Structure 1
Amino acid sequence: SERAVWAAFMLGRLHAIEERRAEAIASFTKARALAVSGAPDPLGLAVASYGEQARLMLSGQSGPCNWSDFNEGRDCGETIPPADFKQAIRLYAEQAARGSTNAQDSLTALAAWSLGHADISAALIDDPVAQRLLVAYALARVGDIAEGSGNGDSYYDPSAPNSGSSGYPDAARSAKVKPNSVLVTLVDALKRRGLEKIEGADRVAALAYRTGRYDLAATLANRQETALSWWVRAKLALRKGDTAAAVQAYARAAQAFPRNDASLDPSNASLLMGEQGVLTLSRGQYVEALAQFHQAASDSARQSRGGYYGDYAYANDMAYVAERVLTTDELKTYVDAHAPASPMPAPEAVAKAVQKQGGGAQSVRWVAVGLSAITVEDNLRQLLARRLVRDGRVEEALPYFPDDRDERFIQSTYDAEGHEVPAGWRMRAKAREYGQALDRGQHAWRASSRAQGWYEAAVIARRQGMEIMGYEQGPDYAVYGGSYPGGAGRGMGMYGNEDKPLPDNPQARAQADLPGPLVTDGERQRYAATEAKPYKRFHYRDIAADYVMKSADALPARSQAFAAVLCQGVNFVYYDQPRAEQLYLRYVKEGAAVPFSADFGQNCVEPDFAAAARFPYVQAWRTTRRWVAQHRALSAALLLAAVAGAGFGVAQWRRRRRAAKTVA
């Protein structure tokens, strides 16, 4: 019958309401058997029957216990017979294995409640499925005890220094966090039952490691050859200071990927690769460390389907090594070999998708990203491009900026009404303009042309500096669009504090930013060598101010252009009073009065370089006219003498010419 599964399921529900448990179980079992034999089940009632049957098992002396009883920590479950409790867990596990999210929620509630009752959890761990559930929940959801918190389940900020990657308090990261007694009790119960009866020794080894039972962790980890067991061995080796053994253990653990042996979920696989990168970095293998962080970031981004920003942690680790540890040439070689650009979506496809969605110009970028996601590799290429620009290798940088036709990378700006609109410039084209302007500033023949080149480079550095030369991490934080003065990479931040002022040289800052035994002197030296110059947030604004000074150097001091470029320079760094004063005082000392001097640095005009080119000749003519007007008699005498001298010279020339003809 087309409704046979439905009928059996509803009979089971009726028997359950009437508290005829045996009859209800028989009906639910029949519903599943019918579905397995091919009877139609469009509503998925066969899978739902596992959960209905499991609920029948969760009944104590005071009656049936529901989800809220377990989720809210009530004592209803204390009188449920252990055999029934274990059977309920097995049924929910079967249901969850068939894709039921409700079953997953039920298992979560049962595990959390059971671990809060030591006698119940001790009675459950002789069942393989229940034991696996409790251990898995303990590893994933039970945090340690932080000072001021009542339990270990309270969620922590994942960025906090005493918080693990899951966001829960982690005793391994801070003396202010103590191991959770729930975890200690569970490990003790498993140990008392006998190591030979432990299901999933690698997971219990990880749990033992978390609670500080390192000998037990080693014993259990050595019983299996899984990625997780090798990971535990690697961490134990690091505790003993045996880095060689740790390297080998991490390598064995990583061999399980991309063929995962199921002992780790994908997010933990990324964490494993990240930890391996830290160890590799500590051994001075910088390019290899970048490769491992690159893999962790790429894997994490694919899992989250969030592109580059799927997981900031691994992407930021990768960016730190790429930007502050590798040399530019090492990074370029790596990118050329391992970081290809993602395919650009066809403009026709983007236009069609935008039209279909009815979006405006501001939606083009997001439509394009939807057609072809921005990858970790795309952003690594841009990091390299900006680094090459900072090094003055602008032509080499251009291929690593996105194609100007690629609408995924269009920058945004805002119109007068505050609406976001696409910017009219593109990164690669603007970087090319910047390089051309620098070339004119350095090599143009005419002084006014050099001044114009420096000024144009200054304007680009100020307005598009973040995009074409900003540091991915400190001090500019291009990773966040410059919106925050920290939060990525190593460093004390740009401002220091009253108790710990910012060191005053790169080497001292490297020592302060990179403490600890896992950092080599070589890493600190590279970190110091790649520091921003100047070491200031939005450092490219100061570079723009430097170019303004170079432009002023090539201009006549009394020209309009001289005053105008210095005015623009003050506007570039108005927030930095000492630097703004330096530019303004130069104008006061050398420049001429101009109409915009009253609010210098606020309402500036564009410099007139053509007038500046004519300025020396105009000034010479004006000076001559002024002198003649003041010395009329002397001027007339000098003019007469000049005319007479010219006449005498012409006469002499003619006389010599006639003499030459006579001789001939």
Structure 2
Amino acid sequence: MSPSLRKRSLAAALIAVTAATVTAPRPTAACGPNFPNRLLLSPDEVLLSGPVADFARELARLVPAPAKPFEVVGVYDGGAQTRTVEADDLDRALVAAGATPEVRAAAVAKLAQARKDADPRALDGLTPADLREYARGAILYRAGKIGEARAVWRALLDLPPAERPRRSVWAAYMLGRSYGAKGELRGGDDQPELAAEWFAKTRELAAAGFADRLGLAATSLGWEAALRLDQGRTEDAVGAYLAQAAHGDASGVNSLAVVSERVLADPAQLPGAAGSSVLRPVLTALLLARSSYAYVPPDGDASTPDRTLAGAWLDALEAAKVGAVPGADRLAWLAYRLGRYPVAERWLAVAPPGSVVTLWTRAKLALRAGDVKAAAKLLAQVASGFAETERWQYWPGDWGAWGAWDMEVQPAGRARAELALLELSSGELVRACDLLLRSEYNLDAAYLAERVITVDELKTLVDARWPAPSEPDAVEPGGAPSAQGSPVVLYSGRRFDVEIRARAVWVRYLLGRRLARARRFDEARAYLPAAQAAVLDRYRAAIASARDRARPDADRAASWWEAAKIARHDGMELMGTEGAPDWQIYSGNFSLAATLDGRTALKSELAPAAPRELTRAKELAPIPDRRFHYRYVAGDHVMNAVKLLPRDSAAAGVMLCHAAAWVINRDPPAARRFYEEYQRRGRYIPSIPDFGGSCPAEP
């Protein structure tokens, strides 16, 4: 393509971009990376919504984890797991006895073959005795010889403790299953109380230190609970499931959800459950969690959440005249989430006044009443009332019908973020930024840190709050920037040699890039990750050399060109904005609606955008405020370089071609200045047919 044709193509591209801008639809959610939650675009919804709940966390509050919890093993293929542990236990025992590898291999093969052939006699001669006798009993049991199997396991348990370290727990557990099992393991003479005794013995043996590599002690709690359910002893069943969950067995949590659903679905059981100190908090916990996402009953409409059960539960509690009971704060929380605000007030009247849930619910009610000052004070108390390490899992409402998604919220950070919305609206910009930086709402925090508070305000805040973490806490080899928690490849196709894990590194990196954008390189270096600090050293050295008037013009031009290449190829990592316009949070691969646009159009009764915020956000924008702004910075460096080169410099033409190529596809008008400078030199330098498209190699 000739230069003149290329000029016409630039104009055509400009028209196409303009038309696309006018007709382009508004951004919508789609498949992509982990798009972070943003609170600044919908403050009223955020402030008035009740906190989400975590069912497992609520259960853990009811029955704390024991000091020495039982082993818990996730079951994916019980038979395969049993065979693997069985073979490994046998091999370990033989190693301890000094057996040769050949003897060990033969013994393991013998055990496996006996199992496969269902031949208990094939185990004769196998040692140690507890492994042999347990396997013998298991083969008999599978063959339906339940009585013989029980006799073998009882005999095993009669051995001296030192001779049965590996299979005492297994034998007791299977005795329990044989008296109270279901399905294929049913013994035919179920004796629930005897089964419960053996399950208790299973836990006793595990607590005494006998091996439990399959997690049978924790599992026995679930089986005992199932026995109690069959007997109609729902409270006892729930107690056992709670204990199972407390040991860390997720099946206890799932079982409690199923049992709670059954109780809630039966109106006849609600009055009794309302008066039960065991059932009441569990049912409330489930309804709280289900109110945090779209609950779909088995025969319900998957498109809409069902609040009928929760409403019926609150009605049952009031009908039973339940008063000041433990968990009243949770009942107030549930009533608020259902929109029953007078009911929430009544429960708050008898709730523990210092409970963070009480305080949070009071803050929500204060906001609904328009008392923003009271709400702010309460939210400050809430934020300091949770442990920083506490996390809640929940399903967002929009995903409830999918049934396979979960999300996490840090309650302390969420309360700080809600308080930040109020502080920001009142004009307390630095205070709001501080709160959001400590809330894990990254894009909201970045908007304030990059565009609303000054760079000096940010530096003061970071120096006071975010000291550099120790190296082991901050990085992992081979990773990439990952404030979200998963490595990503940079837009330039490169990867960091560190992965951002510690939040302090991310916050300091925000400041480091902002200082780099402000050309405060000496200050920026201390806040950048090591890889970017090294790039910064090369960049500022190139600029310093380019500005040294004592050097020859050709050398200075070469330095400007070096600075241009660094700005272009490493600019995202060195000076890119986390949010708009560069979207370094996604390494430039994705973009969202700009926070400033949303804040400018915001209509909010509780926390409208303050004029000072919007003014600052425009005044403190990166220069230029365009996508991949560092490419324009690189273009400025190129213009500085070519001004130092003679008019007939072929290198100047190549530099200009590359500078145009850096922006032409996204912003054709921005490429015009390079083309015009190239034209000015046209007859003195070699022609580049596809200027801004296919350029000669970089000089």
TM-score under structure 1 normalisation? 0.65
Distance in structure 2 (CA, Å) of the matches to 1:193 and 1:108: 23
SS in 2 for 1:128: coil
Contact 1:596 1:604 in 2 (8 A): no
- Offset of residue 36 of structure 1: 9.0
Cα offset for 1:449? 4.8
Q: 1:388 is matched with which residue?
A: 515
SS of the aligned residue for 1:196 comes to coil
Residue 238 of structure 2 corresponds to residue 89 of structure 1? yes
**Deviation at 1:391?**
1.1
Q: Given the alignment of the two structures, is residue 27 of structure 1 paired with residue 197 of structure 2, yes or no?
A: yes
SS, match of residue 58 in structure 1? helix
Q: Does 1:512 align with 2:601?
A: yes
Paired residue for 1:421? Answer: none
Work out the CA distance in 1 between the residues paired with 2:421 and 2:254. Answer: 36
Distance 1:464 1:152, change over 3 A: farther
Q: Deviations over 1:67-120 (max 9, x none)?
A: xxxxxxxxxxxxx85xx2333212211222233222222112223444445544
SS at match of 1:341: coil
State how far apart, in whole Å, the 2-side matches of 1:514 and 1:442 are: 49
CA pair 25-282 structure 1, distance change in 2 beyond 3 A: farther
Question: Judging changes above 3 Å, is the alpha-carbon distance between structure 1 residues 215 and 434 closer, same or farther for their aligned structure 2 residues?
Answer: same
Higher mean C-alpha deviation, range 190-199 or range 235-244:
190-199
CA distance in 2, matches of 1:142, 1:285: 34
Deviations 1:160-208 (A, max 9, x none): xxxxxxxxxxxxxxxxx77733322222222222240644011111111
Distance, in Å, in 2 between the alignment partners of 1:256 and 1:579 is 52
- Structure 2 matches for 1:467-486, cutoff 5 A? 467-486=573-592
Q: Is the 8 A contact 2:370 2:606 kept in 1?
A: no
**Cα distance between partner residues in 2 of 1:345 and 1:39:** 35
Q: Letter of the aligned partner of 1:539 in structure 2? A: H
Q: Which residue of 1 aligns with 2:259?
A: 110
1:186 to 313, 316, 321: 313
Q: Distance in 1 between matches of 2:261 and 2:672?
A: 63
Report the equivalent of 1:321: 448
Q: 1:596 to 1:138 in 2, by over 3 A?
A: farther
Matches of residues 116-195 of structure 1 in structure 2 within 5 Å? 116-121=265-270, 123-143=272-292, 180-195=307-322
1:579 aligns with 2:670: yes
Which amino acid is 1:581 matched to?
A: R
Distance 1:94 1:562, change over 3 A: closer
Q: Which moved more, 1:324-333 or 1:335-344?
A: 335-344
Asked whether the equivalents of residues 454 and 548 of structure 1 are also in contact (C-alpha less than 8 Å), the reply is: yes
Task: Using the TM superposition, give the Cα deviation of residue 555 of structure 1 relative to its aligned residue in structure 2, in angstroms.
Answer: 3.4
- Pick closer, same or farther for the CA change 1:33–1:531 going to 2, 3 Å: closer
How many residue pairs are counted as aligned between the two chains? 492
Which residue of structure 2 lines up, in the alignment, with residue 241 of structure 1? Answer: 370
Gaps of at least 5 residues in structure 1 are: 60-79, 155-176, 298-313, 352-363, 404-425, 493-508, 609-664
* Paired AA for residue 359 in structure 2: W
**One-letter code aligned to 2:453:** L
- Match among 76, 83, 100 for residue 249 of structure 2: 100
Q: Is the 8 A contact 2:546 2:560 kept in 1?
A: yes
1:271-299 residue CA offsets vs partner (Å, 9 max, x unmatched): 223323333333333333333333333xx
Higher gyration radius (CA): 1
Q: CA–CA distance in 2 between the matches of 1:153 and 1:116?
A: 17
> After superposition, where does 1:351-366 map in structure 2 within 5 Å?
none
Matches within 5 A, 1:286-301: 286-297=429-440
Where does the alignment leave 5 or more consecutive residues of structure 2 unmatched? 1-157, 181-185, 394-407, 479-493
Q: Distance in 2 between matches of 1:400 and 1:145?
A: 43
Cα distance, 1:39–1:545 mapped onto 2, change above 3 Å: closer
Please point out which of 179, 187, 196 is paired with 1:15.
179
Distance 1:345 1:178 in 2: 45
3-state secondary structure, aligned to 2:627: coil
Residue 591 in 1 paired to residue 696 in 2? Answer: no
**8 Å Cα contact 1:202-1:220 kept in structure 2:** yes
2:339 equivalent among 212, 224, 231:
212
CA distance in 2, matches of 1:7, 1:178: 46
Determine if the alignment matches structure 1 residue 202 to structure 2 residue 329.
yes
Asked if the contact 2:388–2:412 (Cα under 8 Å) also holds between the matched residues in 1, the reply is: no
| 1:278 has 2:421 as partner | yes
The aligned counterpart of 2:528 is: 401
Please say if residues 383 and 472 of structure 1, whose CA atoms lie closer than 8 Å, have aligned partners that are also in contact.
yes
Shift in Å, 1:150:
8.7
1:107–1:594 Cα change, 3 Å: same
- DSSP 3-state at the match of 1:474: coil
The AA in structure 2 aligned to 1:591 is: G
CA, structure 1 residues 544+85, in 2 after alignment: closer, same or farther (shift >3 Å)? Answer: same
> In angstroms, what is the RMSD of aligned CA positions?
3.8
Quick one: distance in 1 between partners of 2:221 and 2:306?
Answer: 36
Give 1:591 deviation, angstroms: 3.0
The reply to whether residue 378 of structure 1 matches residue 542 of structure 2 is no
Sort the Cα spacing of 1:338 and 1:524 in 2 relative to 1 into closer, same or farther, 3 A: same
CA contact (8 A) 2:380 2:415 kept: no
Q: 1:269 aligns with which of 412, 419, 427?
A: 412
Structure 2 CA distance, aligned partners of 1:20 and 1:465?
73
CA deviation string 1:525-570 (max 9, x = no partner): 2212222332221111122223323333343333323322211211
Asked if the contact 1:557–1:592 (Cα under 8 Å) also holds between the matched residues in 2, the reply is no
Tell me which residue corresponds to 2:616.
Answer: 526
Identity percentage of aligned residues: 33
- Rounded to whole Å, the distance in 1 between the matches of 2:217 and 2:529 is 53
Q: How does 1:389-468 map to 2 (within 5 A)?
A: 389-403=516-530, 426-442=531-547, 444-445=549-550, 447-468=553-574
The equivalent position to 1:543 in structure 2, one of 622, 633, 639, is 633
CA contact (8 A) 1:458 1:547 kept: yes
Amino acid at match of 1:511: T
Task: Report the alpha carbon displacement of residue 22 of structure 1 after superposing the two structures with TM.
Answer: 4.8
Q: Distance in 1 between matches of 2:391 and 2:651?
A: 69
Q: 1:375-395: per-residue Cα shift (whole Å, max 9, x none)?
A: 111111111111111112122
Cα deviation for residue 138 of structure 1 reads: 1.6
**Does structure 1 conserve the Cα–Cα contact (< 8 Å) formed by 2:383 and 2:411?**
no
- Cα displacement string for residues 443-480 of structure 1 (whole angstroms, at most 9, x for unaligned residues): 52555455444333222211111011100111111111
Which residue identity lines up with residue 433 of structure 1 in the other structure?
R
Matched, 1:55 2:161: no
Alignment match, 1:556: 646
Q: Which moved more, 1:20-29 or 1:123-132?
A: 20-29
Report the counterpart of residue 111 of structure 2 in structure 1.
none
Taking structure 2 as the reference length, the TM-score comes to 0.62
Partner Cα separation in structure 2 for residue 542 and residue 340 of structure 1: 33
Residue 345 of structure 2 aligns with an amino acid whose one-letter code is A
Q: Which residue of 2 aligns with 1:250?
A: 379
